[in-house]
Amino acid sequence: MLEVRLKKRLANFTLDAEFSMPTPGVVALFGRSGCGKSTLVNGIAGLLHPDLGRIELDGRVLLDTAAGIEVKPERRRIGYVFQDARLFPHLSVEANLRYAQRRAHATVFVRFDEVVGLLDLGPLLARRTHQLSGGERQRIAIGRALLSQPRLLLLDEPLASIDSARRDEVLPYLETLRDQLAIPMVYVSHQFDEVLRLATHLVVMEAGATVAHGEIGEMSLQAPLRSIIGPDAIGAVLDAQVLGIDSASGLQRIRVGHGELAVLAPRAQAGARMRVQILARDVIVATEEPQRLSVRNRLHGSVTRIVADDENADLISIEIGGATILARITSAATRDLGLRPGLAVWALVKSVSLRGRSLRSAVPISCGSPDA
Amino acid sequence: MAWLSPDESTALYLSLTVAGRSVLLNLPFAILIAWVLTRGRFVGRTVLDAIVHLPMVLPPVVVGFVLLLVFGTRGIIGAWLDRVFDIQLVFTRNGAALATAVMSLPLMVRTIRLSLENVDRGLEEAARTLGAGALDRFATITMPLILPGVLAGAITAFSAGLGEFGAVITFVSNIPGETRTLPLALYTALQSPGGNSEAIRLACISFGLGLAGLMVSEWFARRLRKRFGR
């Protein structure tokens, strides 16, 4: 468990943060630029001295202002990947990595060769830091943080200063860390697509305060998140299981809850997990099984919740055997169809986005399904 | 150095050792003071800043006189040094080095301070999260980053120290073979009849040494900029 509670009055805002998450996991701190995400991360690292607070990581108290405990940053064993990498300019790439390794006196869970292999740092080791691209710098910064053998990894918008092409080059490495090293991460971002790919939990921040937190799949129902990402980005985030390629259509069959979807996706081993997002605006609700429609992906389930999204639209939660998807429809439609919790409905899914790769496939995925 | 008389080469040698010793003596203090002035947040910082810079604005004779009062055989520190360590500063080359050190301290502090202010504190923070304690951070991050600045400062101070006149002659007098450095020898030559050609030679040496010092110092400063320029 990671439990964080921090209060700090600053010149232009007050940090008032509280969240917890199970470890290992990836919690994303999400919010608009300047809402205090970096300040919170600095507080967790110990670089910011809070007025009040408590931090506990896997049973170890790192901060407890009430009890007078404040572990120094150099003793917290928290790795920090800064937005601007902060590689030591007077050292080579390898010396940067060794710097961290030499100071990690605790149990080694990730070896030098392993880090170099995971992040493909081999060809860079002999270079000086000013000869590197933004993406390379961040990969080295991640490797350096890992070699300090941290119990928690903080990543403060590690992709913000990199152009979008390079971003896709670094993201898969972060997914590898999450899946192979099982190291808990706090990931700061204001890009919702990054959050969708990496996070298991989400903390939404606004004006210095944490306004909502929970598992990523449930978060679309939380108003603070909706107000930031806008109605078009609301949707269910689901972990689907790969069933296999449908030989007739060539599409990948995946299981979501007790339902099945066919999506256009690179080949993946049956049984692998795959993160998909189904946008609420791409889901059509029917109260009886529809016939003769172009939309092929249909899921049978029951309405669990109806939340008013704005004046004339509702968010309908539909449970499909252990998974919940969301549909955004007009309030008039809710009325006409007589939707109410418990009602059996058909959800027609116009489009499925793949967010992140499946565990066993090495190929990063980012493409949609056809509107077949 | 056939074209230098034995007296002249002694003066040159004395100038070099006095300047060298003054720099060695200065370095730890200059780094410490620059550090405190850049990073410290305490009452009296402005006062310390002013005191360190005083030799720049005071007449060198005043500095020499104050040194005489404090480090002279009857001075508080001078008497103690004599009694406990059997060290005499007045009329010795070590005394000349001390006077030179005091005079060039502001120069060194300024250069080191400038490079300290240029150090990205974020790098020290990064080292901190990697497990480096305060001394470790200073030795492995801060010091290597300011090293070219420190060297540039040391070389400028050394070059300036070769020519320190007022404070030296006041504190340790003008003793041939002991405290008669280049500028003092030059001054003596000008005072004696027919010493013009000697004075010109000594002036040329000073000129060359100064030029070389400034050039080497500038070279280090350029390296410094390159090191920070990411």
Residue A128 per-residue DSSP state: B
Say if residues B141 and B132 touch (Cβ distance below 8 Å).
yes
A74/B128 touch (CB, cutoff 8 Å), yes or no:
yes
| A143 touching B (Cβ < 8 Å) | no
Q: Which residues of B82-99 are buried (b: 16+ CB within 10 A; e: fewer)?
A: beeeeeebbebbbbbbbb
Architecture of domain A235-354: Beta Barrel (2.40)
Q: Which amino acid is at A13?
A: F
* A199, A342, B164 from A185: Cα distances, Å: 9, 38, 60
Q: Which of B:112-131 have CB within 8 Å of A?
A: 120, 122-123, 125-131
B93 in any annotated domain: yes
B131/A148 touch (CB, cutoff 8 Å), yes or no:
yes
Which chain B positions have a beta carbon within 8 Å of A78's beta carbon? 129
Note down the domain range covering B14.
6-228
Residue A212: the pLDDT is 84
pLDDT tens string B47-94: 988 998 999 899 999 999 999 999 988 888 888 888 888 888 888 888
| Torsion sign over Cα A171, A365, A257, A349 | positive
Q: What is the CATH number of the domain that holds B133?
A: 1.10.3720.10
Distance CA B16, CA B112 (A): 22
List every span in chain A annotated with CATH 2.40.50.100: 235-354
Distance from CA of B161 to the nearest CA of A (A): 30
Architecture of domain A2-229: 3-Layer(aba) Sandwich (3.40)
Structure token pair of residue A139: 């990969």
B143 in any annotated domain: yes
* A84, B174, B196, B205 from B202: Cα distances, Å: 54, 16, 10, 5
At residue A316, what are phi and psi to the nearest 5 degrees? Answer: -105, 125
List every span in chain A annotated with CATH 3.40.50.300: 2-229
| Torsion sign over Cα A328, A333, A337, A341 | positive
Indicate the pTM of the whole model.
0.79
User: Count of domains in chain B?
Assistant: 1
Mean pLDDT of A290-302: 86
pLDDT tens string A124-156: 999 888 888 888 899 899 999 999 999 999 999
Largest CA distance in chain B: 69
pLDDT tens string A36-69: 888 999 999 999 999 999 999 998 999 999 999 9
Mean pLDDT value across chain B: 87
B1 in any annotated domain: no
What lies within 8 Å, CB to CB, of A276 at 6+ separation is A237, A238, A239, A240, A254, A256, A261, A263, A352, A353, A354, A355
What lies within 8 Å, CB to CB, of B112 at 6+ separation is B30, B31, B34, B146, B149, B150, B153
| B191 touching A (Cβ < 8 Å) | no
B133 in any annotated domain: yes
Stated as kind and residue range, the H or E segment containing B40 is: none
